[in-house]
Amino acid sequence: MARVFLSLGSNLGDRVANLRLALQKLQALGASTLVSASAVYETEPWGEANREQRFLNLAVEIETTLLPARLLQLLHQIEDDLGRSRRTGQPSSRYGPRTIDIDILLFGSQVISASDALQVPHLSLHERRFVLTPLAEIAPDVEHPVLYRSIRELLNEVEDRREVVPYDLPPRWF
């Protein structure tokens, strides 16, 4: 089984419900087990578009026997099922609002460059506080397989100063 870390985010509609449904669908994936989930954080959007629509973000760890390309395909299906709109070719689609966004951050210690959609480790992982903060909560000592730095070290060194604050949810919210 591969140890995989994912980032989940939502800034459209009922953000908590979107995350809850995505986690439920992740738990229902065949050949995968949800191991842990970070707390939820409210974060400033990345990029310049839609600065007023704050995200809810968290990181999860799963164990899976799925191959990376198949996992990505299933994650895109979850996003589609939850109303994610992919407007390819439009400038706002990269950083625009979305009901759900699920990214593969790390897939064991693999380095994968299969396509624009499948780049592992995630190419911007080390630059984004909203990704590193929840990931450091559940995997502080995991080493980035290209940068050879722990997630904790990357968080301590990140230049991104966008706000990332805990979002108050009851235990077992999903």
- Give me the catalytic one of 15, 84, 128, 129: 84
Q: Is residue 103 annotated as part of the catalytic site, yes or no?
A: yes
Please give the single-letter amino acid code of residue 15.
R
Place of tokens 């990376």: 68
Phi, psi of 37 (to 5 degrees): -140, 140
Q: Is residue 101 annotated as part of the catalytic site, yes or no?
A: yes
Q: Is residue 84 annotated as part of the catalytic site, yes or no?
A: yes
Q: Is residue 160 annotated as part of the catalytic site, yes or no?
A: no
- Give me the catalytic one of 103, 129, 161, 172: 103
- Give me the catalytic one of 15, 51, 98, 129: 98
Buried/exposed 57-90: b ≥16 CB within 10 Å, e otherwise: bbbbbbebebebeebbebbeebbeebebeeeeee
Which residues are marked as active site?
84, 98, 101, 103
